[in-house]
Amino acid sequence: MAALSLADARLYEAAVALRATRRRIFTSVTLPGARYGLISATFVVFTMVITDFGAPKVIGGQFNVLATDVYKQVIGQQNFQMGAVVSTILLVPAALAFLVDRMARRRQVALLSIRAVPYQPQPHRAFDRAMLDYCAVISLLLLGMVAVSQYGALVKFFPYNLSFTLAHYDFDRKGGGGWSSYVNSIQLSLLTAVIGTAVVFAGAYLAEKGRGFRAGRAVFQFLAMLPMAVPGLVLGLAYIFFFNHPANPLNGLYRTMAILVINTVVHFYTVGHLTAVTALGQMDPEFETVAASLRQPFYKTFWRVTVPVCLPAILDIGIYLFVNAMTTVSAVVFLYGPKTELASVSVLNMDDTGEVASAAAMAMIIFYTNVVARALHAALARRLERRTQAWRRGAA
């Protein structure tokens, strides 16, 4: 989406003036401009699916996948050696994604130059209506699944006693961590969003805009891709072995909110990094060149030019980290303590003890929290866009 929204309108105007068809414009202008973002998104989806743990564990039944096999080997059979072997296999997609990403970046052309004019598509009633209908169908399917979960949380005993009750929301009497686990999740999500966004964007800026130490930047790009291919279970186990060692001076972080924040930022680092790199890669290097010619320090260019231009991407990184911190379970399930149990872990614990309706109720609380956060994010983005992105409307 970011790649498409930053396309130069002059390219489209030139193609229209040359009487190119819509299909020709799409294949010759739109797709080449969005190519890097599409490649990155493809490998993000691939690695997310191959390393997912929650969905296969809950609804996968006896259908084994690598992520759940790690859990069974380590937790079920205490076979740490085999769990390490399987987790190593899951690192292969990260290496493949890194190689393809590097090949695509060599051919990436900056889409946002100093003379660029953001493209504003013209309304097309028939096509827009067809796309609206398509999105509506997908939305109804997603909302249907959510509605079933909410319905199950409001009836006494699905599907035998369908009378409504709110008893399932009395979490303090259930097998999970009670309402305190929900408060812990809010705290974790806010800290992860603020700290993680700053760390991710700063790292992407140094890797993308830095001029020296090319080999080091390449290594950093590779390391930034690794968390996507490492299952949360593996990260959680690694943190246990490292932080729980008595001789480790960082042992005090174990079972604290700090270790949960660190683990969550690392776990979801890759997507935020790719988002930031894509936004930074679309900026013309002339911005830094002009600033250097005017003898302006890099941090002034960073705060006055880079951050305002990339503000939509920065906000997207923040809400992405917040939402995933609210829902993560695979890594933190090994790291929480008696006072830091999370809502997502509480859902897992209640489901394991047979309190499915209460688990659904807590899951819906998490869902509504993310909806509210997304609404606040949209309102904040719109307000900040009016103050920092006015040049887009003026240029258009």
Tens of pLDDT along 269-290? 988 998 898 888 777 666 666 7
Can you tell me the mean pLDDT for 382-392?
69
pLDDT at residue 228 greater than cutoff 60? yes
Residues 33-74 have pLDDT tens digits of 677 777 777 776 777 777 777 777 777 667 778 777 777 777
CA 97, 99, 103: angle at the middle one, nearest 5? 115
pLDDT-derived band of residue 316, with 50, 70 and 90 as boundaries?
A: very high
pLDDT-derived band of residue 131, with 50, 70 and 90 as boundaries?
A: very high
For the whole model, what pTM was predicted?
0.77
340 touches 260 (CB < 8 A) = yes
% of the chain exceeding 70 in pLDDT: 78
Q: What is the spatial distance between Cα 387 and Cα 395, in angstroms, rounded to a whole number?
A: 15
pLDDT-derived band of residue 18, with 50, 70 and 90 as boundaries?
A: low
For residue 5, the model assigns a pLDDT of 47
pLDDT-derived band of residue 11, with 50, 70 and 90 as boundaries?
A: low
pLDDT-derived band of residue 351, with 50, 70 and 90 as boundaries?
A: confident
pLDDT at residue 392 greater than cutoff 60? no
Residues 64-123 have pLDDT tens digits of 787 777 777 776 677 767 777 777 777 677 667 666 766 766 665 555 454 555 556 678
Residues 137-170 have pLDDT tens digits of 999 999 999 999 999 999 998 888 889 999 999 8
pLDDT at residue 393 greater than cutoff 70? no
pLDDT at residue 196 greater than cutoff 70? yes
- pLDDT higher for 394 or 186? 186
Q: Could you tell me the domains of the chain?
A: 123-395 (1.10.3720.10)
Q: Which two tokens mark 144?
A: 């249907």
Q: Which amino acid is at 340?
A: T
